[in-house]
Amino acid sequence: MTSAHSTAPVASAARRRPHSSTSLRWLLPIVLVLFFLAILIWLPWQARQMESNERQEQLIADTLWVEQTIRFQLGRDEESLRALGVEIATGHLTPAQLHERMARLLKNGHELLRVVWLKPDGQLVGSSDPLAAPVELSPASKATAEITRKTRRPMYTQPEAQTHISAAAPSAVLMDYHVPLFRGDEYLGDLVATYQTSALLEEMVPWWFAQDNQVSLVDRDDKVLARRAAAGPGHGVYTHKRALDLPGASVTLVTDSVKSEPQLLPNLLVGSVIVLSLGLLWSLLALWGHISKRLAAEGALRQQMSFRTAMENSLVTGLRARDLEGRITYVNPAFCQIVGYPAEEIVGKLPPMPYWAPEAMAEYQTRFANVLAGKVTPQFETFFLRPDGERVPVLVFEAPLVDNDGKQTGWMGSILDISDRKRIEELNRQQQEKLQASARMATMGEIASMLAHELNQPLAAISSYTTGALNVLEREGPVDCAILKPALEQAGAQAQRAGQIIRSVHEFVKKREPLRQQVGIASLLDSIRALIELQARQSYVSFRAEIPADLPPVRADRVMIEQVLLNLTRNGIEAMQHVQPQRRVLNVVASYDEATAQVSVAVIDHGHGIPDEVAQRLFSPFFSTKAEGMGMGLNICRTAIEFHGGALTFRANPEGGTIFTFVLPAATNLETL
């Protein structure tokens, strides 16, 4: 029994011990939280009091500094006036010197309004203003002058409002400073310096102090003598008074801060405590969600990486990253497909690369040297060599590769396989040649009837000359060759003329590969002159050509430029069908520009001109103003000129009509390139 009873209290105590320890464990945080809340409640009030006391102490210190500044400046003025009074009493100053010394006092002290020397009877002897009128002292100033005469000590007059003092201060609160002048026992009068109380504040109170405080000068009855409030009136919360201690005058400097009492919360200390408290609460709440957010971020990162990998694998554009040494650090599957090498055989390699062609190795090395020097060409064309020997034309775009800090770590290149584009360009070139041949055939179809008429003339002449020769032989029998020679020569000339027309047509319509060679504009024009003149005569148009003898040749395909000239001249002839006959003149003018090293050829007509709505679409394919036109003539002309590195333009002719101009690089310029 004893044993059982003795173990029960022990068990009960054991059960109570965890409960008490748990209570203490919870009680301590509660006490700490309550203590923290008490500090939060007490701290703003304490901080407010500290800030308020600090502002008041700062105002007192600044006011004392301003008062000392004003008193120091007044002391300097007093010393200068007393020294001037001594010189006046000794009689060493001339009137001019006296005026100069008084004017210098005003120049050095802008707070002074005037300085005068008055005799005992009030007569003006000298003044800082040479044109000053007689001075009439106020009763208070006269009383002060009497006191200074008796005491022989300088004194100030109590400031008071006065009117009509000067043009600068017609009405102001003024204060006089009297310096009695004695030569032995002889009283010479008073040296009177007049201060404007508002100028004392304007000149002696710093701007930074006036921006934060309302500064006033008051008398013994707190009547305002002068006030400066640059930032507005004071709030009456922080104020301080300081007497200027002027002999004979009672003037007090009063400062009233424009700052109001600090609010309970907007101060740095309280704000810091609140921010720290909120940060503590936020950290406690964020601690629970940190792990879940981190796991979610890791999952999102894995998803983004998978998305990026899938996107890069689906691109048809090759991507290649290189470091500053040219070492490949990354390639995507599209790049591997373009060059024909797997990624493990490319990544980490330094130039030369396995996909560089041996014949273009110098070009690759030069471009790589420019990359290392930071002179990367943003876009260029080249070709890569696959392991099977196939050459792949590519278009490469290069851009700097930078890290998060904006520092360049290498270069990122985008590579496009342009094999299909090259094939399309070749197909377009072939189609363009076929189209040009069709255009030439269409042109010949249009001039077929005129050609038949033109050939009929030399053939008829040949027939006439040969018939006449035969008639002579039949009628006269054997005759002298001199009789038949002129007829046969004329027949031969007409035959050559017909042959030249046939050869021009044959060369014009013959299909051939473009062949660039040095040709002269005059030679080109002569080869098609017969065709141009044929069309011109049918439309009663005069054809003129102005080709300088020293015009440089151009390097071009003869047939293509002939087609351009023929199309432009035919358009000019057709444009003048409905104008007066005397205006039907077609000019072809060539010139050379040494500045650009280009040969310019202008085809000038005097026709109806080109309306604005037509000019916007003039070079568009299949656009034509002719009912039977295909709309390809000018488009083919522009393509042919651009194929040679030139340009085809047009403008209105000031004399009426249109001027078509095409320019081609001179052959000498092309050879130097």
Say if residue 521 is in the same domain as residue 592: yes
Instruction: Give the contacts of 29 (CB within 8 A, at least 6 positions apart).
Output: none
Say if residue 545 is in the same domain as residue 490: no
- How many whole angstroms separate alpha carbon 529 and alpha carbon 53? 107
Residue 440: give the domain boundaries.
418-511
Could you give the count of Cα atoms lying within 13 Å of 629 in the half-sphere of its Cβ?
17
- In terms of Cα–Cα distance, which of 321, 484, 530, 516 is closest to 415? 321
Say if residue 650 is in the same domain as residue 541: yes
* Residue 214: predicted pLDDT: 87
- In terms of Cα–Cα distance, which of 610, 608, 592 is closest to 600? 592
Say if residue 410 is in the same domain as residue 432: no
Say if residue 107 is in the same domain as residue 231: yes
Say if residue 450 is in the same domain as residue 593: no
- How many whole angstroms separate alpha carbon 79 and alpha carbon 180? 13
* Residue 15: predicted pLDDT: 43
- In terms of Cα–Cα distance, which of 245, 254, 242, 251 is closest to 219? 251
How many Cβ atoms sit within 10 Å of the Cβ of residue 320?
24
Tokens at 374, concatenated: 């930071």
Say if residue 93 is in the same domain as residue 235: yes
- How many whole angstroms separate alpha carbon 139 and alpha carbon 145? 10
Q: What is the value of pTM for the model shown?
A: 0.37
Say if residue 99 is in the same domain as residue 186: yes
- Single residue among 511, 531, 564 that ends a domain in this structure: 511
Say if residue 429 is in the same domain as residue 560: no
Of residues 584 and 381, more confidently modeled: 584
Checking if the pLDDT of 664 tops 90, the result is yes
Q: Collapse the DSSP code of 374 into the 3-class scheme (helix H, G, I; strand E, B; otherwise coil) and give the result.
A: coil
97-124 mean pLDDT? 85
Amino acid of residue 321: A
How many domains does the chain contain in total?
A: 4
Checking if the pLDDT of 14 tops 80, the result is no
Q: What is the overall mean pLDDT for the chain?
A: 77
- In terms of Cα–Cα distance, which of 468, 501, 604 is closest to 543? 604
Quickly state the pLDDT bin for 615 (edges 50, 70, 90). confident
Of residues 136 and 505, more confidently modeled: 136
* Residue 441: predicted pLDDT: 61
Q: Whats the size of the chain, residue-wise?
A: 673
Top-confidence range, 230-234, 281-285, 631-635:
230-234
Asked if residue 28 belongs to a domain, the reply is no
Quickly state the pLDDT bin for 551 (edges 50, 70, 90). very high
Say if residue 110 is in the same domain as residue 216: yes
85-105 mean pLDDT? 84
* Residue 9: predicted pLDDT: 42
CB 601 within 8 A of CB 590: yes
Asked if residue 614 belongs to a domain, the reply is yes
Could you give the count of Cα atoms lying within 13 Å of 182 in the half-sphere of its Cβ?
10
Say if residue 459 is in the same domain as residue 543: no
Checking if the pLDDT of 235 tops 90, the result is no
**Roughly how many angstroms between the first and final C-alpha of the chain, as a whole number?**
124
* Residue 503: predicted pLDDT: 60
Instruction: Give the contacts of 529 (CB within 8 A, at least 6 positions apart).
Output: 545
Q: Collapse the DSSP code of 513 into the 3-class scheme (helix H, G, I; strand E, B; otherwise coil) and give the result.
A: coil
626-653 mean pLDDT? 74
Say if residue 427 is in the same domain as residue 532: no
* Residue 455: predicted pLDDT: 60
Asked if residue 24 belongs to a domain, the reply is no
Top-confidence range, 14-23, 347-356, 437-446:
347-356
Q: What is the CATH number of the domain that holds 435?
A: 1.10.287.130
- Single residue among 511, 545, 571 that ends a domain in this structure: 511
Look up tokens 């009695």; give the residue.
Answer: 180
Query: Is the bond into 352 cis (omega within 30 degrees of 0)?
Result: yes
* Residue 10: predicted pLDDT: 39
- Single residue among 496, 511, 526 that ends a domain in this structure: 511
* Residue 120: predicted pLDDT: 87
Checking if the pLDDT of 632 tops 50, the result is no
Q: What is the CATH number of the domain that holds 233?
A: 3.30.450.350
Instruction: Give the contacts of 114 (CB within 8 A, at least 6 positions apart).
Output: 106, 127, 128, 129, 132, 165, 166, 193, 194
Asked if residue 302 belongs to a domain, the reply is no
Percentage of the chain beyond pLDDT 70 is: 72
- How many whole angstroms separate alpha carbon 319 and alpha carbon 412? 7
Checking if the pLDDT of 673 tops 60, the result is no
